[in-house]
Structure 1
């Protein structure tokens, strides 16, 4: 088994080297003569492999550009920003990095939370002016994207649709905005008739723009499935951070494209575009009874004990009521569902977690 794996790695390295030699020869790196423009078609089933080898094996990341102004093969989408829509200077700067040279360049734009990533994506879609597939990580986000498109643009209601577990309207065939989730597109199980028809439409359509929200949180396999099941001329990823828990952030370079722009959150904060953040840590000693139990409990029980520490609950209640009296909006976060439920009931406040239905979330 080890010997076979070693041979496979050697063969892969040799293939990468041959591919690199061919590219160097094609662009004239081996001689001092003039550079040449080489055009060749790539087997669509090998595009991911070539992009990955160029990015990781050769350190020559490919640049994907879409000449949308001269695209006469795909139907134009009648969509513009409303006259009342205002794009901020840093949003314009981010978009200028994407649309340099009068083409749409695939890549990732990084903006902090609250800086208007959604409007950047919407403006990109209106600029390209072709069918756009928007992918987000939840049904709530789908609803938000839909409402934002209706708020900021002139898109006709018949040209924008949602594809979720509860909404399955067939998109307009002559140019549309389709908003869905990564899970809906990557789902591998059996679908109902309506969902299957929409998926066939998604797969057969050449999307002018594939707009991907929160690319840092999407599982690698799910993300890969979404990019391989769809055909798009340009990909734009939006995120607040280029940090992934699985450490596969570099994969985004060849699956989407390079980082096009990253805003400095301190600059945006200083100019009043995003809120000032003040972080404080509140230590809450355990009660004697809880601490005694904590010392002899297993790790899972220990986590529950420190989450339910009565002193911590009282500190949380005090902070919540103090800020409510000031008219502040308050979110209490817990990574323990049991603790979340107990806090919500004792504090008599609504809660949202994985089992919360879509209707409850939006009410």
Structure 2
């Protein structure tokens, strides 16, 4: 690691960390502090981070010591660190490891919650009304609970600021012997991710989240984990296309065959040793008062592993059932743990802490994902749109800005500049996308496109039979378009950082060409504010946005 007298970090008394992007060791420092701090803002000259309870407890889960955190801050801080910040970090870090869930010595349906080396915490837990309903005081520093309440207890304690170390045993599940095909080779970082998740299969491992960029082979991490455990597996995917992609990959890369791997969705409901279900079917019910009838899938077989694909998109009802199946190994896969509803703590408690995180730019430098350039193109409202925007209510302003007519001519220029490269055009508003499809005579896929038609268009795109494809929000989820090189983002879901990451991920599969991610933003409108938030996550990963005016195209 490089060192310099020009230290890049300014630590302020309000708890924020200001990182100067112009110093020589900017990237080194970013990689270090991102292990225990969350990015908040990322203008071009300074990035602002904040150390939170959750960021510290994720650091604890991957064995980053308090000494390492403090020494890193001291090594890189330009000015003396405010003593109150060091005290706060020590206090929050010290709350980890004082509560431990263990198996009951005689009854497998019960668990023990133990208080370790923390005076008065026993009394504090006894005083909490919500906890009294699910844990019962057994003796000093020891509580008893029903094993079905394992997730609920962890979640409630997390909200109180006391994360739990869970070392209660996990079920093995029914065995499923199989091997990886000889042509399937796991990359070093994929093996590291699997090892971080499983450990040596010791207590306290086998549940957690792996964070890897789109296009870096998260599916292979899931398959490699299955192969290590050799057990029946339930996989949850975001839609039918993603479910079928999982099935194709499993059958292609392992000795498992079509009779052992099945789809459980609105179109097919087969249950086999490896079952791939969609979130949509699991959360379907007749009305708001009815039960989730497909939740029985979690109990149909003795699963030894549940994989949550795109774990950052986990629907709220799935959190509920996940709290009840804590004895099963749980693997979350995602490109970003960012959730706009701030439910990252639920991912932490109910699936598990972040076990492995690979920097996007590091994988890019090693050639595992494509090199990408991110370009924000500033567009203008015409006179008619300016008037509409000026008098429109706030909720309507963003749509007027997103559907600015000038964006159509900007698309034309980008398509001309990259006339021979596979291109996807992504947007939020169907009427806008349909206008683009008609204007340029391009195929379009939306949520209403039948699955058979989607598969046909995806196949044609992969085989270079069509060069440009328009996608609605279906582009936010797992789709396999490995040759896509250009992405043009017309509009998005307000300021969603996770959506920005997913959309960039559509063009990151390894390839010889540089990929380009164009985001069209209407200036002097609310869209600019949302665009700033959307680029935050990618900036944290090391991507720099080049901002140009539409004339420069």
The TM-score normalised by the length of structure 2 is: 0.54
Q: Select 1:178's aligned residue among 244, 253, 275.
A: 275
Q: 1:85 to 1:64 in 2, by over 3 A?
A: farther
The size of the alignment, in residue pairs, is 325
SS in structure 2 of the partner of residue 250 of structure 1? helix
- Which of residues 181, 195, 204 in structure 2 aligns to 1:82? 181
Helix, strand or coil at the partner of 1:101: coil
- CA apart distance, 1:124: 0.6
Greater RCO, 1 or 2 (C-alpha within 8 Å, sep 6+): 1
Kept after mapping to 2: 8 A contact 1:136/1:182: yes
- Match in the other structure for 1:55: 158
1:164-243 mapped onto 2 (5 Å cutoff):
164-169=265-270, 171-172=271-272, 176-189=273-286, 200=296, 202-219=298-315, 221-227=316-322, 233-243=328-338
Q: 1:161 to 1:109 in 2, by over 3 A?
A: same
Partner of 2:413: 318
Tell me how far 1:157 sits from its aligned partner: 1.9
**1:162 CA displacement:** 0.6
The answer to whether the 8 A contact 2:174-2:302 is kept is no
* Conserved? CA contact 2:307–2:331, under 8 Å: yes
Cα-to-partner distance string for 1:259-314 (whole Å, 9 max, x where unaligned) = 11011111111111111121112222233343344334445554444344332211
**Post-superposition shift, 1:123?**
0.8
- Cα distance, 1:347 vs structure 2: 1.3
Given that 1:109 and 1:236 are in contact with CA atoms closer than 8 Å, whether structure 2 keeps it comes out as yes
Identify unmatched segments of 5+ residues in structure 1: 1-8, 27-39
8 A contact 1:115–1:274 mirrored in 2 = yes
Would the aligned equivalents of 2:151 and 2:324 in 1 still touch at CA under 8 Å? Answer: no
Aligned residue for 1:332, secondary structure, equals strand
Please give the alpha-carbon distance, in whole angstroms, between the structure 2 residues aligned to 1:93 and 1:277: 25
After TM superposition, give the deviation of residue 185 of structure 1 in Å: 1.9
CA contact (8 A) 1:62 1:254 kept: no
Distance 1:181 1:78 in 2: 25
Aligned to 1:97: 196
How far is the alpha carbon of 1:202 from its aligned partner?
Answer: 3.9
Contact 2:174 2:304 in 1 (8 A): no
Are 1:114 and 2:218 an aligned pair?
A: no
Counterpart check, 1:346 vs 2:434 = no
Residue range with higher mean Cα deviation, 295-304 or 117-126? 295-304
Question: Structure 1 length normalisation: TM-score?
Answer: 0.80
Shift of 1:132: 0.2
Query: Higher helix fraction: Structure 1 or Structure 2?
Result: 1
Residues 11 and 307 of structure 1: CA distance in aligned 2, closer, same or farther (over 3 Å):
closer
1:309 aligns with 2:404: yes
Quote the Cα distance in structure 2 between the aligned partners of 1:359 and 1:232: 38
Aligned to 1:29: none
| Between structures 1 and 2, the one with greater strand share | 2
- Secondary structure of the residue aligned to 1:279 is strand
RMSD (Å) for aligned C-alpha atoms: 3.0
Aligned to 1:12: 129
Distance in 2 separating the partners of 1:200 and 1:116: 30
Matched residue, 1:34: none
Task: Show structure 2 runs of 5+ residues with no match.
Answer: 1-125, 457-553
Summarize the Cα distance change of 1:254–1:137 in structure 2 as closer, same or farther, 3 Å threshold: same
Change (3 A) 1:22 1:344: farther
